[in-house]
Amino acid sequence: MTRRLPAEQRRAQLLQAALQIAEHEGLGAVTVRGVAERAGVSLGVVHYCYTDKEELLREVINAVNAEVHQAAAAFLNVDFGSGEQGPEGLRRRLYDAIDLIWAVISASPDRQLLTYEIISYSLRTHGVPEVGLARDQQDSNEDIVRIVLERTAESAGMRWASGLDAMVKLVMCLVEGIGLRWQIYRDDDDATDLLHHGVDLVVAGAVPADGG
């Protein structure tokens, strides 16, 4: 007999079961029946907590986005305020930042792969340009990158010649592209080299904040 739990706890239990399925088998493998089996409950229990599969998938995607954001936000507490000024100071700070970002990504490959699936799922479900939850995921990640670029440039006495928004988009493309390549090859050294090379290109787009 299924043990009775408060509704909130039951939803959390079912969500965790759905996350486990999605992480190891992909979003397409998340079904009401599969979640019931993984959680050890009846189909009726799942239907009581979630209207349908789509509601369950939305909860999964929201949870993944929140976890990725929380993990990435951890490095925002890094002190970039001391150290060398100028281009080399900026380079050192961005090396440190990108290494921390990469530590988050490489520590959870299955969860990171799921973020790519979320983009595909949202595009197929909502279409362009209303890409739904994928847009939320992208906006959240861009907010973090923007803060890092602002803080590192300011602390090094530099600014972005092409504007901050343009540089945020470039860094996002670099990180996401290299992350996808790493999913294919799983070569940590290659990924680190590419990320550092990307930082070098980004630093080349910076100029002294005082215009000198």
pLDDT (tens, 9 = 90+) of the chain, 212 residues, equals 455 778 889 999 999 999 999 988 988 899 999 999 999 999 999 999 999 888 898 898 888 878 777 766 666 667 777 789 999 999 999 999 899 888 888 888 888 888 888 888 888 877 665 556 778 888 888 888 998 899 999 999 999 999 999 999 999 999 999 999 999 999 999 999 999 999 999 999 999 998 75
Query: What is d(CA 62, CA 53) in angstroms, rounded to the nearest whole number?
Result: 14
CA dihedral of residues 108, 110, 114, 115 (deg, nearest 10): 30
Whether residue 75 is found in the same domain as residue 27: no
Whether residue 15 is found in the same domain as residue 87: no
Biggest CA-to-CA distance, the chain: 74
Give residue 1's pLDDT. Answer: 43
- Assign 2 to helix, strand or coil: coil
Determine the structural domain holding residue 22 and report its residue range: 7-50
Whether residue 29 is found in the same domain as residue 92: no
CA dihedral of residues 115, 119, 121, 125 (deg, nearest 10): 150
Contact 146, 168 (CB under 8 A): yes
Contact 25, 69 (CB under 8 A): no
Whether residue 124 is found in the same domain as residue 156: yes
Query: What is d(CA 66, CA 70) in angstroms, rounded to the nearest whole number?
Result: 6
Give residue 133's pLDDT. Answer: 73
CA angle centred on 26, ends 46 and 42, rounded to 5°: 20
Give residue 66's pLDDT. Answer: 82
Give residue 82's pLDDT. Answer: 74
Q: How many CB atoms lie within 10 A of CB 157?
A: 17
Whether residue 29 is found in the same domain as residue 128: no
Whether residue 122 is found in the same domain as residue 19: no
CA angle centred on 97, ends 196 and 164, rounded to 5°: 90
Give residue 153's pLDDT. Answer: 95
Whether residue 76 is found in the same domain as residue 175: yes
Number of H helices, E strands in the chain: 9, 2
Give residue 140's pLDDT. Answer: 82
Domain count of the fold of the chain: 2
